[in-house]
């Protein structure tokens, strides 16, 4: 069993960052609970994220409260409370926005894991997040966790740079209110593999075994071309790269949803969105662009649907009718829609968010594989374009529209 006490072979900085990620994401007063014996490193990661009005509580499992004694003198303060009670004995009327489980789920017994998860569920506010993790080298997964993961998972991160490798899960048991989107910042790392110096989309794993096996087979046969599949695998890794970006959120601006070149800026109607007209900004992504999609505005996902269509070249007008995935966001300025469209080569769309989830402006939410097109639909009476055809733009960085002066 590993916990966040430093007894793993190598605990990467990204692991700690993943555990406290929701603390960094949440804007405003918050109560944070750490369950287990946190390491000094975890405490040093979470404390800078607390503001003057925030509270941190640390609670252990039954009969293990004495393990917190060394931490009291070092980190105890008015805002940091090391509880004398176990997490199971905490007052259920005192709620937390974020709970961090600082021990691997599959290192706990089934009864302890189930009771702890249910206790954390009761201690969270509506829309609150539970962060937990699994040790991927343990052969026995935690059976009781599978139902929680299927029903309540917001997103997961696989950290290959950690030894042992771990998968960090973020769970939400109750829905957010739409206006809560103003209380979140964009997060990095969702559905990605972090190797420390390089981060790529988790979709990369689908290519590792077949190309690796092909290379091994060629070498066994004595072929001098055994390295070609590995070169191709390197190309796939480059294509699926997922660079971190510093997002400067601005509610008066719309940020690009993708990297690429602006194909079209026009007032259009779209039968998939019902009646009315939209300001549509369409962008083409070449195979050399980063293919991670980001939310252009902050909002709540109120609808998602796929539209069956063809596979025309994404640069052509008839690509309007290609297979697409639409994500509809509710915002204070009305509905904003992002359509991920496949192209001639791109045939796979991945969307990591579901209905009811909040997205911060610039937050990563999906991927289109191998060249594609992304369209942003805005209420045409409220926004005006800041880009023109041919402009090169970056996801989460380039403003593509702004609220007009009529509001």
Sign of CA dihedral 212, 216, 218, 223: positive
Provide the 10 A C-beta neighbour count for residue 253. Answer: 18
307: CB partners within 8 A, 6+ apart = 272, 323, 324, 325, 326
What's the rounded Cα separation, in Å, for the pair 159 and 165? Answer: 6
- Residue 264 dihedral angles phi and psi, to the nearest 5°: -160, 140
Query: In 119-249, which ranges are E strands?
Result: 124-135, 153-159, 166-172, 192-194, 199-201
Query: Is the distance from CB of 79 to CB of 54 less than 8 angstroms?
Result: yes
DSSP codes of every residue in 93-131: TS-EEEEEE-B-GGGS-HHHHHHHHHHHHHHEEEEEEEE
Query: Is the distance from CB of 150 to CB of 111 less than 8 angstroms?
Result: no
Angle at 178 between CA 335 and CA 53, to 5 degrees: 140
Cα 264 to Cα 315, 316, 323: the distances in Å are 10, 11, 18
Here the tokens at position 327 are 């994500």
* Active site (catalytic) residues: 372
**Residue found under tokens 């706990």:** 108
Beta bridge partners of 170: 131, 155
What's the rounded Cα separation, in Å, for the pair 205 and 216? Answer: 17
87: CB partners within 8 A, 6+ apart = 33, 35, 59, 60, 61, 116, 119, 120, 123
| Coil vs helix vs strand at 71 | helix
Q: Do the strands 55-60 and 80-86 form a parallel or antiparallel pair, or are they unpaired?
A: parallel
């Amino acid at each position: 069993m590993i916990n966040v006490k430093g007894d793993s072979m190598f605990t990467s900085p990204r692991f700690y960052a993943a555990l406290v990620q929701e603390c960094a994401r949440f804007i405003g007063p918050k109560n944070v609970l750490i369950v287990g014996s946190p390491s000094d490193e975890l405490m040093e990661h979470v404390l800078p994220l607390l503001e003057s009005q925030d509270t941190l509580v640390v609670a252990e499992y039954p009969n293990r409260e004495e393990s917190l004694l060394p931490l009291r003198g070092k980190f105890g303060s008015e805002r940091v409370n090391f509880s004398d009670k176990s997490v199971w004995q905490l007052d259920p009327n005192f709620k937390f926005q974020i709970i961090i489980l600082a021990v691997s789920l599959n290192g706990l017994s089934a009864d302890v894991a189930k009771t702890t998860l249910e206790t954390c569920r009761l201690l969270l506010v509506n829309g609150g997040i539970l962060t937990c993790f699994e040790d991927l080298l343990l052969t026995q997964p935690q059976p009781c966790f599978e139902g929680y993961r299927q029903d309540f998972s917001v997103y997961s991160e696989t950290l290959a740079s950690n030894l042992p490798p771990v998968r960090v899960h973020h769970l939400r048991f109750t829905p957010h209110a739409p206006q809560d989107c103003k209380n979140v910042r964009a997060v990095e790392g969702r559905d990605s593999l972090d190797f420390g110096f390089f981060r790529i989309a988790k979709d990369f794993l689908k290519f590792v075994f077949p190309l690796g096996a092909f290379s091994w087979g060629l070498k066994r046969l004595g072929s001098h071309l055994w390295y070609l599949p590995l070169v191709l695998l390197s190309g796939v890794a480059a294509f699926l790269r997922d660079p971190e970006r510093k997002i400067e959120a601005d509610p008066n601006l719309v940020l690009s949803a993708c990297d690429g070149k602006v194909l079209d800026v026009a007032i259009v109607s779209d039968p998939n969105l019902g009646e009315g007209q939209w300001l549509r900004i369409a962008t083409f992504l070449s195979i050399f662009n980063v293919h991670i999609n980001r939310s252009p505005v902050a909002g709540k996902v109120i609808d998602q649907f796929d539209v069956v269509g063809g596979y025309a070249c994404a640069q052509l007008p008839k690509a309007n009718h290609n297979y697409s995935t639409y994500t509809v966001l509710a915002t204070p300025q009305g509905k904003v829609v992002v359509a991920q469209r496949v192209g001639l080569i791109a045939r796979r769309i991945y969307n990591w968010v579901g209905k009811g989830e909040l997205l911060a402006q610039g937050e990563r939410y999906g991927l289109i594989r191998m060249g594609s097109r992304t369209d942003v639909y805005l209420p045409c009476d409220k926004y005006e374009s800041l880009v023109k055809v041919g402009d090169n733009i970056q996801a989460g960085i380039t403003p593509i529209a702004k609220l007009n002066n009529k509001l």
